[in-house]
Structure 1
């Protein structure tokens, strides 16, 4: 995010008392900034916990928040040298933990249930085959020194990849039907 954009937002979130010239009180406004800043720090910390046999449910969230806070202040392109940091205007850093294949599988299953409930695709693959087809399209990165793999995009691309699989199946089904129709004409 360009630093200039953060400076524009600063007007709205900096502490000030409403006056006649500034009648609106923005102090109760919530701004949410989503970023990949700190992703490496979060993955390294998750990997450290994994090697220490700490279950994901037992991760110390404060460690992740601190790692994210440090990374956002120090990483190029983060909030480095932003007035938001200098003036201590960021209330919380909320880390999104990296997702493993099993988590992505759950995302796919949920999205598939929604699609099957609302859309009427013709397909011949089983639910497991569809899930496996989608998961094969998702990019994963391997943590530095282990066999641990994390999704590069979390669950963000699941819906698009699922629709791609369904569209591919529809296209293949149409080609098969056309071939059958064309072969019937020959008889």
Structure 2
């Protein structure tokens, strides 16, 4: 009876399916009996976790030396800290196809034993989960209750927000208190929670900075976080206001031809094919567009279109 009432209230509260996505998947997560908030299921000591994340970032996150270094240091430091002062908040910025979603998945994989299927990992897409501007206050209230309930259930909960640049400011205001320097809010501590924000915002700034650096004769690998973070931090005020809740604004650089070749090689393996470097080089010039036109230096779509287009160009 109580279960039926819970479902009724959720569905009746302004279309819970809009907010939580597929209700069945959500319900399966919160009722999963075979996962617990302890060291067996969540890596807290940072040892094997750090090594695993470093290896995965090096193996799969192509062309993102800045993001890889910052993510590894931030995550390892946070996971090794038994008493963090605040939740960890990372904001990923860059154009589509540069690896923001992949990076978040690698983080999850190396912390939670069940990866993205963990009931302690919560993913939101701003466009899908918060589609109506007229319902901002409802979304805000529901999201606050959702975060509070899940962190109460597991202090090491992770919340991932995609399309952050499209999220209504009112909803952002609603979640900022959970990410700030508070010992407890209404008796609940959020200091061990992790928030990941994925945004296309700043993509043009990052791309132009990369092109300017390249034209000046500077190697891609010489670009550092501080070369881009100031501009991204300024952009962050548009999203997060004056409250400095974000620990790192992390730039994802535009990908070059060599990185597209690497993405194609990985996708070949995923398709059960023998990876062929020469074939990957050939396809890389057909499968994506590059800029500037006379140099063909930077991939416009990154690696985003490869999985859907590779079969066609393999024929």
Name the TM-score, length of structure 2 as normaliser: 0.41
Query: 92, 102, 107: which is aligned to 2:248?
Result: 92
| Cα RMSD after superposing both structures | 2.7
Counterpart contact for 1:41–1:71, Cα < 8 Å: no
CA offsets 1:1-23 (integer angstroms, 9 cap, x no match): 2212212222321332226xx23
For 1:72 and 1:149, the matched residues in 2 are separated by: 28
Return the offset for 1:163.
4.2
Q: Establish whether residue 5 from structure 1 lines up as the match of residue 171 from structure 2.
A: yes
Return the offset for 1:109.
1.1
Counterpart contact for 2:287–2:310, Cα < 8 Å: no
Q: Which sections of structure 1, spanning at least 5 residues, go unmatched?
A: 74-79, 119-125, 170-187
- The alignment partner of 2:227 has SS state of helix
Return the offset for 1:158.
1.9
Equivalence for 1:174: none
Query: 222, 230, 234: which is aligned to 1:66?
Result: 230
Equivalence for 1:183: none
Q: Which sections of structure 2, spanning at least 5 residues, go unmatched?
A: 1-166
Equivalence for 1:18: 184
How many residue pairs end up in the alignment?
148
Equivalence for 1:29: 193
Counterpart contact for 2:178–2:190, Cα < 8 Å: yes
CA offsets 1:67-95 (integer angstroms, 9 cap, x no match): 2223343xxxxxx1x4x331111110000
Equivalence for 2:98: none
For 2:277 and 2:248, the matched residues in 1 are separated by: 39
Q: Establish whether residue 159 from structure 1 lines up as the match of residue 315 from structure 2.
A: no
| Larger of the two Rg values belongs to structure | 1
- The alignment partner of 1:34 has SS state of strand
Which one has a larger percent strand, Structure 1 or Structure 2? 2
Alignment of 1:37-116 (within 5 A): 37-73=201-237, 80=238, 82=239, 84-116=240-272
Equivalence for 1:150: 298
